[in-house]
Amino acid sequence: MNNIVAIVGRPNVGKSTFFNRLIQRREAIVDSVSGVTRDRNYGKSEWNGKEFSVIDTGGYIKGSDDIFEAEIRKQVELAIDEADAIIFVVDVEEGITPMDDEVAKLLRKVTKPVLLVVNKVDNAMRTNDALEFYNLGLGEYFAISGMTGSGTGELLDELVNVLPEMPEVTEEVDPLPRFCVVGRPNAGKSSFINALIGEDRFVVTDIAGTTRDAIDTKYNRFGFEFNLVDTAGIRRKAKVKEDLEFYSVMRSVRAIENSDVCILMIDATRGFEGQDQSIFWLAEKNRKGIVILVNKWDLVEKDTMSTRDYERKIREELQPFTDVPILFVSALNKQRLIKALEVAVNVFENRKHRIPTSKFNDTMLPIIEHNPPPALKGKYVKIKYCMQLPTPTPQFVFFCNLPQYVKDPYKRFIENKLREEFNFEGVPIEIYFRQK
Dist CA 112 CA 17 (whole Å) = 24
**Is 57 assigned to a binding site?**
yes
**Is 15 assigned to a binding site?**
yes
**Is 190 assigned to a binding site?**
yes
**Is 334 assigned to a binding site?**
no
**Is 189 assigned to a binding site?**
yes
**Is 16 assigned to a binding site?**
yes
**Is 357 assigned to a binding site?**
no
**Is 14 assigned to a binding site?**
yes
Burial 120-147 (b: 16+ CB within 10 A, else e): bbbeeeeeebbeebeebebeebbbbbbe
Question: Which residues fall within 8 angstroms of residue 150, CB to CB, at 6 or more apart?
Answer: 121, 122, 144
**Is 121 assigned to a binding site?**
yes
**Is 41 assigned to a binding site?**
no
**Is 231 assigned to a binding site?**
yes
**Is 11 assigned to a binding site?**
yes
**Is 10 assigned to a binding site?**
yes
**Is 313 assigned to a binding site?**
no
Dist CA 32 CA 29 (whole Å) = 8
Question: Which residues fall within 8 angstroms of residue 244, CB to CB, at 6 or more apart?
Answer: 60, 74, 75, 78
Element holding 227 (H helix, E strand)? strand 224-230
Dist CA 23 CA 44 (whole Å) = 6
**Is 184 assigned to a binding site?**
yes
**Is 297 assigned to a binding site?**
yes
**Is 12 assigned to a binding site?**
yes
Reply yes or no: is the peptide bond before residue 394 cis, omega within 30 of 0: no
Q: In the chain, count of helices (H) and strands (E)?
A: 12, 15
**Is 274 assigned to a binding site?**
no
**Cβ 310 vs Cβ 303: under 8 Å:** no
Question: Which residues fall within 8 angstroms of residue 91, CB to CB, at 6 or more apart?
Answer: 12, 13, 14, 118, 119, 120
**Is 60 assigned to a binding site?**
yes
Burial class (CB in 10 A: 0-12, 13-18, 19+), 317: middle
**Is 295 assigned to a binding site?**
yes
- Closest among 10, 20, 13 to 91, alpha carbons compared: 13
Dist CA 107 CA 305 (whole Å) = 48
**Is 183 assigned to a binding site?**
yes
Annotated binding site for GTP: 9-16, 56-60, 119-122, 183-190, 230-234, 295-298
Residue numbering of the annotated binding site: 9-16, 56-60, 119-122, 183-190, 230-234, 295-298
